[in-house]
Chains A and B, each alone.
Chain A
């Protein structure tokens, strides 16, 4: 197996990009990643693109070819593949690109993620997101994605004493970090009361417990160690990539206070990288809802089951803490550009390991990202280390 490094990163703005189309934002992210890697473009041997629902958001399928075309790579016949696993599509595209290089089949590959959600109304957006859970047995009874996370949160409260204030602290921390990130959609701090007083979405979750759905695109360039060493002095190596599945509907899971896919994927990733949770210095988790971040602390092995809230109460996961989580603001402040989120997480870890994270820079040698699909039926865990 070849060692695989990230050698270039690029990101479009995240937000309501009314004036730009899907192809514009993808091109922006891709060309920025090429510039960052100091490559022209023709060195790319394959593209993997994470996109959740182009068919419904844009009425455009065959996103893979569209991207190859508009990035000028169709002329060269470069293979492009779309990868879909709900909002874990980006993380999964990264994993496919990693496998393509690790296997020795390719030496330079682009992993991208993109979603344009605001071309349809917010009602339809919510409906499309509902398709990431079990449409026939959860969606049918009016169980939206926030509702399903709310059911998990309520159980976590009952079983372990986690509170609405604990969840609010997650949102407050991620907004504080986002305020330091020029690429974040929301660069303003908020208070616990703001979260608690925001409109109820699905009790106990309020509006500010939920990440906003955004337009956005991200791209990273992966290269084999040999190529990476030739083109950059600061490669960030991917030391593990793991993925796991769980039952699609939460009713079929043994315990809704844990995400088994996260536990399984992270255990595999730790084994692959030959590290333990305590060896990780900086983390990006999938905080689509605040409860997901608390559960991630536990399921990734950073806290005992049920004790996740202690990490946020004690400031362990803040920028000043011993295990900074979501240093760039997470999905909550950066925006959740669905298929792009997993790649954005990889970019944040890369910037941190390169020492290029500006005001939000933390001390780190090794990082981890967790990208989740839907309510946890897909989990992708990636471990990174400084070259």
Chain B
């Protein structure tokens, strides 16, 4: 699992994806082939907005082992202000989360491989209180 995770760190620690210069489509996770323009597409890397709003969400109660300590936790589909949509965890009270809620990215721990295993970090979202 480590090499697979390691390869993606750049994209997980920051919201780095790609954009097609030909049609303007934005991709997160990054793609190196534009499904719209196909071979005519021209792909370059881009960092996307750090703020957005919740499109839909769930509160997960029945979770895999590595997330046991976190449950219940919120997983949401978030639309960033530049239109990119991604799936991420939202850190807040499950009572407060709602569709349309403003959120901003935060660097957080996801889980660890056992007691002495490596710790996986990535981007989560927290309520956007308006401060930068």
Instruction: Point out residues on A near B: beta carbons under 8 Å.
Output: 123, 126-127, 130, 136-138, 140-144, 146-148, 150-152, 154-155, 158, 199-205, 249-252, 256
Contact = CB atoms under 8 A, between A and B. Distances in A.
Interface in B90-124: 94, 99, 110, 120, 122, 124
B59 A202 contact: yes
22 contacts: A123-B64, A127-B65, A140-B122, A141-B87, A141-B89, A141-B124, A142-B60, A142-B70, A142-B75, A144-B60, A144-B64, A146-B60, A147-B58, A148-B87, A150-B60, A151-B87, A154-B58, A155-B56, A202-B59, A250-B87, A256-B56, A256-B77
A154 B56 contact: yes
A154 B57 contact: yes
A147 B110 CA distance: 17
Contact of B99 (A137, A143, A158, A201): A158
A136 B4 contact: yes
Given A142-B73, A251-B77, A256-B77, A150 B58 contact: yes
Contacts of A155: 55-56, 77, 99
Nearest to B31: A252
B86 interface: yes
A144 B74 CA distance: 11
A138 B64 contact: no
A199 B62 CA distance: 9
Nearest to A207: B62
Contacts of B75: 141-143, 147, 151, 202
A147 B60 contact: yes
A130 B61 contact: no
Contacts of B64: 123, 126-127, 130, 142, 144
Nearest to A137: B29
| Interface of B: prevailing SS | strand
Secondary structure dominating the interface of A: helix
A69 B89 CA distance: 47
Nearest to A253: B85
Contact of B59 (A138, A144, A203, A249): A203
Contact of A123 (B61, B65, B122): B65
A151 B56 contact: yes
Q: Which 3 pairs from chain A and chain B are nearest by CB? A: A150-B58, A155-B56, A203-B59
A155 B57 CA distance: 8
B49 interface: no
B58 A203 contact: yes
B57 A151 contact: yes
A251 B29 CA distance: 10
A142 B63 contact: yes
B58 A252 contact: no
Contacts of A201: 60-62
Nearest to B86: A251
A137 B62 contact: no
Contacts of A147: 58, 60, 75
Nearest to B29: A137
Given A137-B29, A141-B87, A202 B62 contact: yes
B73 A136 contact: no
Contacts of A200: 59, 61-62, 72
Contacts of A144: 60, 62-64
B89 A136 contact: no
B76 interface: yes
Contacts of B12: 140
Given A147-B58, A200-B61, 4 more contacts: A123-B64, A137-B29, A141-B89, A146-B62
Contact of B56 (A138, A146, A158, A249): A158
Contacts of B60: 142, 144, 146-147, 150, 201-202
B77 A250 contact: yes
A341 B67 CA distance: 29
Interface in B1-20: 4, 8, 12
Contacts of A256: 55-56, 77
Interface in B31-81: 55-65, 67, 70, 72-73, 75-77
A251 B31 CA distance: 14
Nearest to B111: A142
